[in-house]
Structure 1
Amino acid sequence: MTKFEALGLDKPLLDAISDLGFESPSEVQEKSIPVLLEKETDLVALAQTGTGKTAAFGFPMIQKIQEESRTTQGLILSPTRELCLQITNELKLYSKYVKGLNVVAIYGGASITEQARQIKRGAQIVVATPGRMKDMIGRRMVDISKIDYCVLDEADEMLNMGFFEDIKDILSNTPKEKLTWLFSATMPKEVATIAKKFMHNPVEITVGSKNAGASTVQHEYYVVGGRDRYAALKRLADANPGIFSVVFCRTKRDTQRVAEKLIEDGYNAGALHGDLSQNQRDLVMNSFRKKQVQMLVATDVAARGIDVDDITHVINYQLPDEIETYTHRSGRTGRAGKSGISMVIITRSELRKIKAIEKKIQQDFLSKQIPDGIEICEIQLYHLANKIKETKINKEIDDYLPAINDVLEGIDRDELIKKIVSVEFTQFYNYYSKSKDLNSQDSGNERGISKGDIPSDGSVRYFINVGERDGYDWMSLKDFLRDTLKLEKEDIYNVDTKDTFSFFNSDAQLTELILQTFTEFKIDGRFINVEVSKSPGGSGGGRGGKKRRGKKGGGYRGGNKSYKGAGKKGGYGKKGGKKKQGFY
């Protein structure tokens, strides 16, 4: 018996699960599915985004629906068009072996008459955004007076977006005896009010702690001067080759401004906010999913419903007004069991907010420092060297080799390597070599150690020649180092995994042990080398308390040539244009 079979699911659903390649249910699925299949009960489930909530309510609803009847029996309300379409597509995949079951999506920005026509043909399950559903009820285009099941997905997000009255109006058109299943990441007062008014003795399921952040996300903060916020954002991107991130701003104006500046500076960036047309929004989101846009600058409202599993970083360019909103922001990374990093750029006056967020999400923040120019140059130099090493040779070059060899005649190997690297590195180095320290002088951190020296105390930064391409993220590399060196978990910190290499910190008294252990050290015949980094302080704050130590993350630069509309509303940079201050 498979783990999904043990939950009580029927064969058509198990066959679909097999096709999808699901092996084990997530915690929210394991807790919710048996309850919803076995009991006729209301349910409140609190779980972070990216934990598999759609399957948690989707499988039980599909199994309980009478597909031979054309009556609408299930209603699922979700906050955004993107999430509405995603849920609809997932339910269609789950029900592929259930003949006669129709799932219809209702959302704004598309033909209301066509959606009404689809419902009239027979839709046992309707997935809708609150605004369009209320509109269709008002026009009598949909009948939800006989539904058996109602799901409120991402309930806290819907209420944060101002749908409280709409949801109350919609639910007032449904029968009292229906079952209501509420799924939410947090439980603010408005969600509790909805639960109290429209639910009867609901079973409550909590995955993790109420309002807590996901354990796969590491939280970091960087204290800078108010005028250095954008410069800090650029450095965090440049220090992290391979970044794929959402950058959050408070207002539409700031979102557009930051995105435009990033595009001008040569990054693959795009803006996502409420002033975009649906077509512009779709273009930006499609480019983001394809990773043509690698830094998506967004407002909180516009970003709700984004469901992309591979986001490496969430960068809080500005902190949100509500702590619950931070939980949603950080939940965009560290999804589907992967690790992620949530970075916060703050001024000294905002430090008290970090304490409040820590208390709410029940996780500690790491106090980090914006990397200096030399450290970024070192990271980018390793990145370039590895990229050259991993580049596949284009055989079309063979015909031109004699002429190329003539041009390069007389240059020895070392000089040639220096020249090749300098082609892309010099402009980057010139930009950063004389850059100032962006860290607030009173942020509570000390720079690590002076260049070239290994201290007898304090923190030491190391380089190791394994990274993400070898299957490591910051969590698994930290575990590998701790297990190999037989150290405590707190002895290894500030673990930064890049594509083909990484950095980590330890206290100076462990330096001899670490370097000795990794002398002639092999795994599967490959040497694993560890060296003391030229930037020993790292970005982790030297001798800060170990509670506040951990990993920071990675940056990628795109060209500044842009698609038509770049630098305007919703524009995004196109890879391959004129390069500014960096290399690839």
Structure 2
Amino acid sequence: MKTFQELGLNDALLEAIKDMGFETPSEVQEKAIPILLEKDTDIVSLAQTGTGKTAAFGFPMLQKIDPKSRTTQGLILSPTRELCLQITQEIKNYAKHMKGVNVVAIYGGASITDQARAVKKGAQILVATPGRMQDMIRRRLVDVSKIEYCVLDEADEMLNMGFFEDITDILSHTPDEKSTWLFSATMPKEVSVIAKKFMHSPVEITVGAKNAGTKNVSHEYYKVSGRDRYPALRRLADAHPQIFSVVFCRTKRDTQSVAEKLIEDGYSAGALHGDLSQNQRDMVMKSFRNKQIQMLVATDVAARGIDVDNITHVIHYQLPDEIETYTHRSGRTGRAGNQGVSMIIVTQSESRKIRAIEKIIQANIEMKKIPTGMEICETQLYSLAQKIKNTEVNEEIFNYLPKVEAELEDLSKEELIQRLVSVEFARFHNYYKKSKDLNGKFEDNPADKTKHNRKDTTRFFINVGERDEYNWMALKDFLKATLEIDTDDIFHVDVMESFSFFNTPNSLQEKVIEKFTDFKIDGRFINVEISEKGPKGRSGGSGGGGGKRRSFNKDGGSGGGGGYKKKFNSGGSGGSGGGGGYDRGKRRSFDNNPEKKSGESSGSPRRSNSGSKPTYGSKDSKPGGFGRRSRS
């Protein structure tokens, strides 16, 4: 392994490296820096997040620009505000011993006037999000016509967020003879298109296999029934007392709901999603970095730009839409030489996706059992003993000890230990002492089957599903409130991507049909019909177990219940869902994601989520934030 001196860096940069405590270059730094210093060339570097990519392009750019010139010479594009600010700070740290270097961050959510003023003073390097950068170019507030170096950092993330047009527009304003340095964790088709269109014979550097996950992360999955997803999350958290994790959900609603449940149940948790203001997001991230938040519940879009090295676990509360997104999620842990764990919570119908992920990350995903209540109690007991043993005694308590000792003098050592442990241990034991085993067969709740004879029930189809940010619990709550019936009268709830099924007693059949006749929410018809294929239809193929129905899409088509589907297009034709395999279109896709193009940090007005989706019978979300409750 080479040293930083051997890579050819100048004295000013070596001094900064010494100040920051860097000892040896990472693999991507060792491969990229000499190439970028040697000549002006285009480069495609495939490496996971957290491998030192910022230094890999930051050091060469700083060494090659002219600090005496006030002209903008380098442009770095990044997907989110958080990452933009982080890169800016790191570049400034690298340049601390270089005179005259000015680095300016350009991002949405801040004053465009102030940013334009900072650029006008002279900035050799701009670090920007695509939306705000494009806006400033159109307003002629920045000039990128003379840049010599352009970096596309986290290129796959930017394109996945819908910034293809923004990036191509920005690059079209830059000179053809510039050097373009593309850094990406994966190489989907869209990244290849950018490389072919704007790069000239790029040198390719690969750290690990293409699209593969980091070697420092172990992968495991847990199979549960749909209604046990949240209890399973609690058990995984309780089975790892020192957990410091990111919990990924597919939708903003689920993100907020899960975070609120965790806070209510006594966990140090916080939510991070697109409905938060920038100030709220900053507060949540600050608390997470300071470990005041132990479990950060986030959407994929909002989590982009999170750069925290000591995350112990990534928990996929729900699998992402695309396989490549799983690679990015799991790359949040196992960084800076640490070991990490990626945990997946899946239902029986989702478990087929595991094999597809294994092929992409080129690693085995081990199936594990959800810990039992007694196993968790045992783990917590030993953790408590270690915590007591390793706690440093605060000298300020000495003045109070005589009274405390007098109060406890009748207790023996054994009795004192027993009572001390019982005080802390009671919460877990009370919760888990009668808890059920979450492992086993994944059928509906046995109580449903004994209470309701299928011959006496009606199976209904409803045209809302996961795409509308429903899980089985949210849908059941909506039906209960709308129909004004008891919770026990709604059962066998199965939520698919764009539609769902539920059962009620036959006696309620007329009420259900009558209530949902010409029923609208936010101008949209909510269609409920009796399912033509019986009380339980979850297999794939045309119809998806529900028979022919009114389609969400303009041109109809049969909705499939199994397999992976092509991306949802609100104006396009339906298409048949199949049972199995991935669609071999432009991108490997699991399901449709309501947040696909939110662009939460770009500042681009075209990517606003406001008003884009109706909310069906849901409780008003309390935007964001975090909380911490006592576990007593």
C-alpha contact (below 8 Å) 1:348/1:440 kept by paired residues = no
- Give the stretch that moved more between structures: 135-144 or 13-22: 13-22
Residue 115 of structure 2 corresponds to residue 105 of structure 1? no
Distance 2:404 2:16 in 1: 56
Distance 2:360 2:173 in 1: 36
User: For residue 590 of structure 2, what is the aligned residue in structure 1?
Assistant: none
User: For residue 306 of structure 2, what is the aligned residue in structure 1?
Assistant: 306
Distance 1:283 1:188 in 2: 33
- Give the stretch that moved more between structures: 3-12 or 425-434: 425-434
1:195-214 to 2 correspondences below 5 Å: 195-214=195-214
Instruction: Tell me the alpha carbon deviations over residues 503-555 of structure 1, each in whole angstroms, 9 at most, x when there is no partner.
Output: xxxxxxxxxxxxxxxxxxxxxxxxxxxxxxxxxxxxxxxxxxxxxxxxxxxxx
Residue 624 of structure 2 corresponds to residue 570 of structure 1? yes
Structure 1 residue 96 displacement after superposition: 1.1
User: For residue 579 of structure 1, what is the aligned residue in structure 2?
Assistant: 631
- SS for the counterpart of 2:56 is helix
Instruction: Tell me the alpha carbon deviations over residues 408-438 of structure 1, each in whole angstroms, 9 at most, x when there is no partner.
Output: 2332111111111111112321211111001
Distance 1:363 1:112 in 2: 45
The amino acid of 1:407's aligned partner reads E
User: For residue 447 of structure 1, what is the aligned residue in structure 2?
Assistant: none
User: For residue 465 of structure 1, what is the aligned residue in structure 2?
Assistant: none
Distance 1:399 1:92 in 2: 49
Residue 217 of structure 2 corresponds to residue 217 of structure 1? yes
Residue 136 of structure 2 corresponds to residue 139 of structure 1? no
Structure 1 residue 2 displacement after superposition: 7.2
Structure 1 residue 400 displacement after superposition: 3.2
C-alpha contact (below 8 Å) 1:73/1:124 kept by paired residues = yes
C-alpha contact (below 8 Å) 2:45/2:183 kept by paired residues = yes
The amino acid of 1:415's aligned partner reads E
- SS for the counterpart of 2:626 is coil
Distance 2:55 2:405 in 1: 60
- SS for the counterpart of 1:122 is coil
- Give the stretch that moved more between structures: 241-250 or 409-418: 409-418
1:482-561 to 2 correspondences below 5 Å: none
The amino acid of 2:354's aligned partner reads I
The amino acid of 1:579's aligned partner reads R
User: For residue 119 of structure 2, what is the aligned residue in structure 1?
Assistant: 119
Distance 2:396 2:193 in 1: 67
Structure 1 residue 191 displacement after superposition: 0.4
Structure 1 residue 201 displacement after superposition: 0.5
- SS for the counterpart of 1:41 is coil
Distance 2:368 2:246 in 1: 19
User: For residue 393 of structure 2, what is the aligned residue in structure 1?
Assistant: 393
C-alpha contact (below 8 Å) 1:247/1:298 kept by paired residues = yes
1:366-381 to 2 correspondences below 5 Å: 366-381=366-381
1:231-250 to 2 correspondences below 5 Å: 231-250=231-250
C-alpha contact (below 8 Å) 2:267/2:631 kept by paired residues = no
User: For residue 281 of structure 1, what is the aligned residue in structure 2?
Assistant: 281
Instruction: Tell me the alpha carbon deviations over residues 186-238 of structure 1, each in whole angstroms, 9 at most, x when there is no partner.
Output: 00000000000000100000000000000000101000111000000000000
| Structure 1 gap segments, 5+ residues each | 444-566
C-alpha contact (below 8 Å) 2:2/2:30 kept by paired residues = no
- SS for the counterpart of 2:624 is coil
User: For residue 60 of structure 2, what is the aligned residue in structure 1?
Assistant: 60
Distance 1:370 1:58 in 2: 44
User: For residue 265 of structure 2, what is the aligned residue in structure 1?
Assistant: 265
Normalised by the length of structure 2, the TM-score is 0.71
User: For residue 74 of structure 1, what is the aligned residue in structure 2?
Assistant: 74
C-alpha contact (below 8 Å) 1:71/1:124 kept by paired residues = yes
Distance 2:227 2:301 in 1: 26
How many pairs are equivalent? Answer: 455
- Give the stretch that moved more between structures: 306-315 or 423-432: 423-432
Instruction: Tell me the alpha carbon deviations over residues 343-385 of structure 1, each in whole angstroms, 9 at most, x when there is no partner.
Output: 0000111111000000000011111111001110011001111
The amino acid of 1:294's aligned partner reads Q
Structure 1 residue 254 displacement after superposition: 0.6
Residue 251 of structure 2 corresponds to residue 251 of structure 1? yes
Instruction: Tell me the alpha carbon deviations over residues 424-456 of structure 1, each in whole angstroms, 9 at most, x when there is no partner.
Output: 11232121111100113379xxxxxxxxxxxxx
- SS for the counterpart of 2:351 is helix
Distance 2:9 2:406 in 1: 70
1:368-447 to 2 correspondences below 5 Å: 368-441=368-441
Distance 2:364 2:2 in 1: 37
Structure 1 residue 337 displacement after superposition: 1.3
Distance 2:124 2:257 in 1: 45
Distance 2:23 2:223 in 1: 43
User: For residue 25 of structure 1, what is the aligned residue in structure 2?
Assistant: 25
- SS for the counterpart of 1:342 is strand
Distance 2:111 2:349 in 1: 48
Distance 1:46 1:401 in 2: 60
C-alpha contact (below 8 Å) 1:308/1:332 kept by paired residues = yes
User: For residue 558 of structure 2, what is the aligned residue in structure 1?
Assistant: none
C-alpha contact (below 8 Å) 2:72/2:125 kept by paired residues = yes
Q: CA RMSD in A?
A: 1.4
User: For residue 595 of structure 2, what is the aligned residue in structure 1?
Assistant: none
The amino acid of 2:145's aligned partner reads S
The amino acid of 2:8's aligned partner reads G
C-alpha contact (below 8 Å) 2:104/2:119 kept by paired residues = yes
Instruction: Tell me the alpha carbon deviations over residues 251-295 of structure 1, each in whole angstroms, 9 at most, x when there is no partner.
Output: 011101101111111111111111111111111111111111111
Distance 1:310 1:395 in 2: 30
Structure 1 residue 5 displacement after superposition: 1.1
- Give the stretch that moved more between structures: 45-54 or 90-99: 90-99
Distance 2:220 2:191 in 1: 29
Distance 1:221 1:23 in 2: 36
User: For residue 476 of structure 1, what is the aligned residue in structure 2?
Assistant: none
Structure 1 residue 159 displacement after superposition: 0.4
Distance 1:394 1:19 in 2: 34
C-alpha contact (below 8 Å) 2:104/2:127 kept by paired residues = yes
The amino acid of 2:59's aligned partner reads F
C-alpha contact (below 8 Å) 1:244/1:311 kept by paired residues = yes
User: For residue 84 of structure 2, what is the aligned residue in structure 1?
Assistant: 84
Distance 1:407 1:70 in 2: 73
Distance 1:261 1:430 in 2: 18
- SS for the counterpart of 1:260 is helix
The amino acid of 2:623's aligned partner reads K
User: For residue 328 of structure 2, what is the aligned residue in structure 1?
Assistant: 328
User: For residue 158 of structure 1, what is the aligned residue in structure 2?
Assistant: 158
- SS for the counterpart of 1:441 is coil
Structure 1 residue 578 displacement after superposition: 3.8
1:472-487 to 2 correspondences below 5 Å: none
Runs of 4+ residues deviating >6 angstroms: none
The amino acid of 1:389's aligned partner reads K
Distance 2:631 2:297 in 1: 21
- SS for the counterpart of 1:421 is helix
User: For residue 176 of structure 2, what is the aligned residue in structure 1?
Assistant: 176
The amino acid of 2:49's aligned partner reads T
Distance 2:172 2:625 in 1: 42
**Identity level (%):** 74
Instruction: Tell me the alpha carbon deviations over residues 295-331 of structure 1, each in whole angstroms, 9 at most, x when there is no partner.
Output: 1100000000110101110000000010000000000
- Pair 1:91–1:219, CA change in 2 (3 A): same
Distance 2:398 2:132 in 1: 60
User: For residue 345 of structure 1, what is the aligned residue in structure 2?
Assistant: 345
C-alpha contact (below 8 Å) 1:246/1:313 kept by paired residues = yes
Distance 1:402 1:278 in 2: 50
C-alpha contact (below 8 Å) 1:266/1:573 kept by paired residues = no
Distance 1:215 1:61 in 2: 29
Distance 1:64 1:398 in 2: 61
Distance 2:400 2:337 in 1: 48
